[in-house]
A and B are shown apart, each in its own frame.
Chain A
């Protein structure tokens, strides 16, 4: 960045830094305080909010949250990669329409789309009524308010976050390398595995991080489609700020969550990189 640009951009940068950092610092600060009986903050420094997290209850809920997020991310990846691949093989006009198709759900409010799933899945919903009409079931199935419904809602909501980055990385790939691979006698599968996949890992990374991080912070879907029967860590955090009126504990949970997400992203990043780098080295 040269000096001229710095002069123009600095107010924006400072503004952003300030409004990003101040709330973060506030959260970290509050996490070391304690509460009085009515829920007011008490200015005594202590780390008990952090030690409380290492209770089998909260660790278990944390594990559930991570597990659901990993599952969502993997399912999104499995569904998105073929879709993104298919889009890149289409002609430019069709591609444009397909991409619009992927982004259309974003134009409709997320809550409304989630409630639409309630209408589809409930006992008097589209699926049950349809199957009953066809005579395939005699009694409605309980599809809603189950773990499966939660997973479905998560994957549905976050798929576009995975498709778009993968599409971009596939689009930017040097197609000549695939021809080279086939000239050198690689099968189509091995060309995909050794040429396409490594070159699109930045897309997979970006998509994976986007889906994983947003899923861990999601609690609306577990409430609406899961009937609030399972708890994500975000539900626990929300309760601390509302009904339990225990802001310090809620803040501590948020900080723990933030740090652990960063660690997981870093590990994920490293695992992907080292795998392909070692593969590259082996080839070289």
Chain B
């Protein structure tokens, strides 16, 4: 028996900030101090506070250490594990309260407001040990459906729970299953969409890295419900840790007979294979994803027929997102009513958001549907750094839109977000402050969709490029008011005529910024100014004569030699040579350079 467990995050975020070295040092230290029989090291998935990585939790106290370095490890072993004295200087506390005394992670504002369903095991169990998953109730739901429930009862439970697809569309999951179950075929398939492509969203990766068995269990349940014996997980090759842990999980589940033939001696067969995606955004679209699994170039095809009728290899198929699956075993075990008791009228349960951009607690949070954006950003997210002012929150990635401050108190659910011109998407939430230019943001997302358009249909292939060109014209100060009208007209055409979701939603970032921040577009066109000071072509760096001491620091720093002058008299920037890199402004100690 171990008297203490040290949980070290092995998610992608903490791995890149050095958690592997921490784990190695800790193992060495425990051995030296003769504690290896008493203290257990557990590598887990993501805890959610990625900005504070590498993170470590010590149980039974639940002490949460953040930004741990290998040098800190000895102190933690010596003080905490040996003598029971918590190393206060490494304990995480919420940014809002100074001298906060919470030592347990569960007491922090970041965690208190969260309700973890899909992420319940992430950061708690070792994802590479199937016994730990079973210890937390894993595979009980599969046992329950196979021995106590008919496929119809399973589908009814999912329908009654009100679970909707977490990948972005929000289609009722139970209905999807029901449609596929109703179609007769010699073979059906269960697919998992783990091709998480939205910039800034990483909840699916976290589930796969922190709790891979939950996806396997849910897919087997889905297989039983619709009558399928084969599943495929389509996961990005850019997620090596997730792929590795999935491979381990599948192998362990097969060894335990939880995948394969005659599961729990009920005659039910189900197996799962992994297919790696090469990172094309369009392959997150369901028909393109299935085309890719079949071994063809990932391009969408028209619907109908829907996958429930004619999907993978022409057979009835269901395709759900990772986060959707992560909810299934809990719904089976706790009942549809339990799940439906969380959330709003039309959006039940919880949603995971990946917080990014100008926010203190960058990371993953899971909240009940109906939580307001303000709670997520200001309370859980810890607000905006450096005392800057909130400008907008971007949800739904390249398919979504920007939500301005006036809508911060709207309860988050599928329908509310659509009504204010954005969408849930997969749950990326990028916070922007006064330093972000909204035209530039629209341009950023358009660049992404132009790159990722598969080229099969003209509205998307050509239309998005033309949209981007108009935006580039505006940000370079050559736009006219007619261009703004043209943006709106073209956007409407692209939305109405594109083949798949990628094109149909690609103009959303433009439309939503036009809706809420038209004044910024007009400033670019009429005044030839970028109010946030982002668009380089509309900026000018000048030296204020009165403030310049003539120290020459800026001219020495300037990479293109655009600054000249005599020592001890004001310097001048040659506007023809200036590339607007901003190096001078960072160098000047006297605040003598202004950007306008």
The judgment on whether A and B are partners is no
| A interface with B by C-beta (< 8 Å) | none
| B interface with A by C-beta (< 8 Å) | none
